[in-house]
Structure 1
Amino acid sequence: MSALPVFNAEPPERADAARNRKLVLEAAGRLFARNPECVTMEAVAAEAGVGKGTVFRRFGDRAGLVRALISDTEIQLQEDLIRGAPPLGPGAPARERLIAFGAAYLRFLEVHGRLLATAEGASWLLSEPYALYRTHVSLLLEQAGCGDSAQYLADVLMAPLAAPAFLYQRDVRERSLEELTRAYEDLVARLID
């Protein structure tokens, strides 16, 4: 499988930068696994044995650090959307693809939702992954004949896939992943005939 071209891709890493990146991500993974709400960039730097400037320059903020931690999983999900087998990938009707996307993203949140929620908050709406997923959903809605409403309905379908909404349903409402997947399928079915 060839990698997707990345807009504004960074040049190849120097060996010391790659080593530091690995140390920081391993340290962040350990700290987030212990107590995600209490992780600071300073704590990650100390755990990794690097200066905090190294962490800030490389990742910018907590959201950037979290995105780097989950990037491999997210890249695979994006590859599956673009090149994967139907119904998640191309070749299935728009409604089936929307349902498959919802199910796949809910599984992604089951693994990474708590981590995303502690780091991102409202910045998720401004992130590149959100833009990709929202564009995917809006294009499928246009294919399904939603016309001028497709953009608004894309936000409606993305709302339950925000990590805080997902965690509320799992933790407070005590809904299983299977229940949430069925509910998302029902939501899509109500929007698209």
Structure 2
Amino acid sequence: MSDRKPRADAARNREAVLAAADTLFATCESPEAVTMADIAAAAGVGKATLFRGFGDRTGLIHALYETRLAPIRLAAEEGPPPLGPATPPLERVPALLDAVLRFKIDNRHLALALEGIGSDSPYQAEHYERWHSTLREALEKVPGLPDGDFTAHALLAAVRADLVEHLIGGQRMTRDQMRAQLAGFVARVLDSPASRD
């Protein structure tokens, strides 16, 4: 019984921390304003618990991001259409990018925090590599598309958190407008002369 209590407490604390961090990032003016002390206070745990569970602020942001992204990633890797691997590539590519865009819009400050962490390159992050690989594999099935690897990078650049924040937070583009713009852009890329030659 004594072995179970710490595990249950640790799981409860982890959930409380992730929920508190989620709320703070969702309501903050700027992701940099959210501190470990703020998260610990909102979760009702000590800072030592926070650091023990996540290592540091970067570790906590990664854990929260992965938790939020997991259902979309699972749908993309194993799910049915339109995201799943059995979907024809000309339908799957736009669906994947739309799912990433909607996630970034719904989690703008969290995505900004993750992509803006220290010297970490967002292109070396595990989640980026996974999305790039999934998208590249789908693009390589598009007849005549010359370079799935570069095209995947270029399309993912269109859903970077800083661009989403600029267009939605700064330019006041609506969610529907941005989704429509992205869909049109993806359609043009997939129907480019190079992919028809």
Answer whether TM exceeds 0.5 for this pair: yes
**2:103 paired with 1:105:** no
User: Counterpart of 2:8?
Assistant: 15
Of the candidates 108, 132, 135, which is equivalent to residue 134 of structure 1? 132
Give, in whole Å, the separation in 1 of the partners of 2:102 and 2:57: 22
Letter in 2 for 1:29: D
1:175 corresponds in structure 2 to: 173
What TM-score do the two structures reach when normalised by structure 2? 0.78
Indicate which of 141, 144, 162 corresponds to 2:142.
144
Check whether the contact 1:32–1:39 (CA below 8 A) recurs between aligned residues: yes
C-alpha separation between the residues in 2 aligned to 1:23 and 1:61? 16
Percent identity between matched residues is 38
Q: How far, CA to CA, are the matches of 2:144 and 2:159 in structure 1?
A: 20
Q: Deviations over 1:71-130 (max 9, x none)?
A: 444111012112222222233321211111111122112211222213432643222221
2:182 alignment partner in structure 1: 184
- Deviating more after overlay: 104-113 vs 135-144: 104-113
Seen in structure 2, the aligned counterparts of structure 1 residues 30 and 157 have a Cα distance that, compared at 3 Å, is: closer
Distance 1:140 1:146 in 2: 13
- In structure 2, the residue matched to 1:7 is none
* Secondary structure at the counterpart of residue 86 of structure 1: coil
Specify whether residues 158 and 33 from structure 1 end up closer, same or farther in structure 2 by C-alpha distance, changes over 3 A only: closer
Q: For the Cα contact (< 8 Å) 1:95–1:188, is it kept in 2?
A: no
User: Equivalent residue of 2:187, what SS?
Assistant: helix
Aligned residue identity for 2:54? F
Instruction: Tell me the equivalent position of 2:3.
Output: none
In 2, the alpha carbon distance for the partners of 1:72 and 1:66 equals 10
Q: Structure 1 CA distance, aligned partners of 2:70 and 2:27?
A: 25
**Structure 1 portions without partners, runs of 5+:** 1-12
Question: Secondary structure at 1:190's aligned position in 2?
Answer: helix
The range that moved more, 93-102 or 38-47, is: 38-47
Distance 1:14 1:160, change over 3 A: same
1:53 is aligned, of 38, 42, 48, to 48
TM-score, reference length from structure 1: 0.80
